[in-house]
Structure 1
Amino acid sequence: MEVELKLLLAPETPVGALSSLEFPAALTQIKRASLGNAYFDTPDLALRQRDMGLRIRRRGDFREQTLKTAGRVEGGLHARPEYNTEVSGECPQLERFPDTLWSEKDREAIQSALAVQFHTDFERQQGELSLADGVRVELALDSGTIRAGERSEVIAELELELISGEASALMPLARHLMSQWPLRLGLDSKAARGYRLAGLAPWPEVVENAATQPLALLAAWQRNEERLLAGELAAAAPMSAQLQAVVTLLGESAEGLRPLVQALQGDAPRQALQAALGSTEYGLIQLSLLALSLD
């Protein structure tokens, strides 16, 4: 089971060196790599319909195939079963994954129809932290692009993946890092973004309302943030109302959102959001909301 917390850098923020951050323990296993990833599915999206993601990752001459199956996303916390095996050639070999994932007939049908749907290519800075109580966390700072035909999107994110220990240990580590860089919680995986960019999945809709529960409120905030940054100005008004609800829920710790609540009702909401993302406070309030939902 892969458990990770995905943190996004503010738009147009230069991706710095991972080593420039201060960590609560010594960062070890430090390395850099150029990673190329081809994501596969069938023309009728048989894997997508099963909530599966399949890729081949290139690291120099080495090839590894990865299959991720249905999991859950809570704010920026992602948990999904993951299977990895070495592979030869440029096409996945499904027989190398556990037979329990599908019937032999389905596996053969999917195998025969697999084709590349999109690519992600990025530079990865990577390191490992060993914390108290046997907690080990891998950090990966990725900078690059998602490509689907002539379309592309920027990748600029920091992933905290739990190697061992309790998932709750990711929260204080994230807070420590988010107090140094302008980071916010990431809702969508690279694969989900790639499917949309390739026209194989619909773009999400603006969330007009949200329940008062912290997790639903956070998800609505994140989705409308993403839509507003994409230029969908209709997301501004509901996002303003949702942020007001966050202030009401969190109290004094979320007071820093009040100027943005007002600015989102003005003539330049997208620019106001972009400016807010440049502060560390924005992401830290998101993290507080996620922490509240997990209590």
Structure 2
Amino acid sequence: MTETELKFQIPAAALPALREELLARGATPQSLRALYLDTPDGRLSAARAALRLRLEGEAGWVQTAKALGADVLTRLEHDALVGPAPEPPALDLARHAGTPVAQALQAALQGATAALSVVFETDVQRLRLDAPAPSGAWVELALDEGAVRAAGRELPLAEIEFELRSGEPAALLHLAAEAVGRHGLWLDTRSKAERGHLLARKLPATPPRAVARPAASLPARAAVAGLLDGVLASASVLADPDMPAEAAAPHLSAWLRGLAELLQVLGRAAADEAPPDPAWAETLVALLAPLDTQPMVGAAARVARGERYNRLVLALLGWSQPL
């Protein structure tokens, strides 16, 4: 199964209003406890994959495998219901046999000599709402509040996910853009798994992803989609209010390089492909102008958390989808 979803961080001041809005619209609460597993050398983490056992109320334990999808919007995922049990069940990779995500797991774990074991856990209170979206689509909203725990340390969580249940990705992006404007949300492509592994290793952030210049022959939509993976990953680190400046600095450099490449691609697209609204490029230039002479982490963080930037990247995500 492929899931289409986006996750956003929430300003602390906006969290009570967002919570109340979901409750007023009929959101249902759920307690979720999850154990995430990996090899001692972090093979799943390195492949940006995840394996978890999660206790989901009366349904009991569910084993889930996740792996990278085709782009920022998509992930491979497979859930296997294990059922009620007083203790966490044993992990069984055969539960995912025959699924695309099983192939990704096999590739990540090939050659591993040590067994999978619990690396970190999450304890979350979720508010879940099925919301109508444009063109008859439906989007699941999931507000998660709780904590990640690893190696005797704890990281608070407060984030909201938008997952497309039916319809086209444009509907999800439209609903997300509205919420960005209403609550000041900012896009965060770091998964709970990524943040949990970092906590377990006592690291603030993963290294930035390399920014490769797209081939001139690559269609503009494909080039933008490829660049957005690294751009949004670095923006997620920059926007984190708790990120130390020294950990964010390499991501600032990667983010600026990626955005410069985006502008180049969008400029080339005008000649041979229907480009996004030219005002998007002008908006990006205006947002980055203060950073041209003195690129500072604090100023970049404010841009990455800002409404104009987040609406811009949501629009680019929509435009870069295959026709």
Q: Give the Cα–Cα distance (whole angstroms) in 1 for the partners of residues 141 and 117 of structure 2.
A: 31
Aligned-pair CA distance for 1:116: 1.6
Aligned-pair CA distance for 1:252: 1.4
Cα 1:56/1:42, change in 2 over 3 Å: same
Are 1:35 and 1:122, in contact at CA under 8 Å, matched by a contact in 2?
yes
Q: After superposition, what is the alpha-carbon deviation per residue over 1:129-157, rounded to whole angstroms, capped at 9, x for unaligned?
A: 24466532211011232221134434332
Residue type of the alignment partner of 2:172: L
Are 2:53 and 2:63, in contact at CA under 8 Å, matched by a contact in 1?
yes
Larger fraction in helix: 2
Cα 1:274/1:4, change in 2 over 3 Å: same
Aligned-pair CA distance for 1:100: 3.8
Out of 199, 219, 233, the position equivalent to 1:223 is 233
Are 1:52 and 1:67, in contact at CA under 8 Å, matched by a contact in 2?
no
For the pair 1:84 / 2:80, whether they are aligned, the reply is yes
Aligned-pair CA distance for 1:275: 2.4
Q: What is the aligned partner in structure 2 of residue 242 from structure 1?
A: 258
Q: What is the aligned partner in structure 2 of residue 162 from structure 1?
A: 164
Aligned-pair CA distance for 1:277: 4.2
Cα 1:95/1:54, change in 2 over 3 Å: closer
Are 1:118 and 1:147, in contact at CA under 8 Å, matched by a contact in 2?
yes
Q: What is the aligned partner in structure 1 of residue 291 from structure 2?
A: 264
Residue type of the alignment partner of 1:233: A
Q: Percent identity?
A: 27
State the TM-score, normalizing by the size of structure 1.
0.77
Out of 211, 230, 235, the position equivalent to 1:209 is 211
Q: Give the Cα–Cα distance (whole angstroms) in 1 for the partners of residues 284 and 135 of structure 2.
A: 35
For the pair 1:233 / 2:246, whether they are aligned, the reply is no
Q: What is the aligned partner in structure 1 of residue 303 from structure 2?
A: 276
Cα 1:203/1:100, change in 2 over 3 Å: same
For the pair 1:143 / 2:145, whether they are aligned, the reply is yes
Q: After superposition, what is the alpha-carbon deviation per residue over 1:34-63, rounded to whole angstroms, capped at 9, x for unaligned?
A: 322111234455765786522222345653
Are 1:120 and 1:145, in contact at CA under 8 Å, matched by a contact in 2?
yes
Q: Give the Cα–Cα distance (whole angstroms) in 2 for the partners of residues 50 and 206 of structure 1.
A: 15
Q: Give the Cα–Cα distance (whole angstroms) in 2 for the partners of residues 216 and 264 of structure 1.
A: 24
Q: What is the aligned partner in structure 2 of residue 252 from structure 1?
A: 279
Q: Larger relative CO (CA 8 A, sep 6+): 1 or 2?
A: 1
Q: Give the Cα–Cα distance (whole angstroms) in 2 for the partners of residues 200 and 193 of structure 1.
A: 10
Aligned-pair CA distance for 1:82: 1.3
Q: After superposition, what is the alpha-carbon deviation per residue over 1:8-55, rounded to whole angstroms, capped at 9, x for unaligned?
A: 225655423446559xxx945x21233221112344557657865222
- More displaced, 137-146 or 220-229? 220-229
> Would you say how many aligned residue pairs link Structure 1 and Structure 2?
285
Computed over aligned residues only, the root mean square deviation of the Cα atoms, in angstroms, reads 3.7
Q: Give the Cα–Cα distance (whole angstroms) in 1 for the partners of residues 293 and 21 of structure 2.
A: 35
Q: Give the Cα–Cα distance (whole angstroms) in 1 for the partners of residues 93 and 236 of structure 2.
A: 37
Larger fraction in strand: 1
Are 2:48 and 2:194, in contact at CA under 8 Å, matched by a contact in 1?
no
Q: Give the Cα–Cα distance (whole angstroms) in 2 for the partners of residues 144 and 266 of structure 1.
A: 40
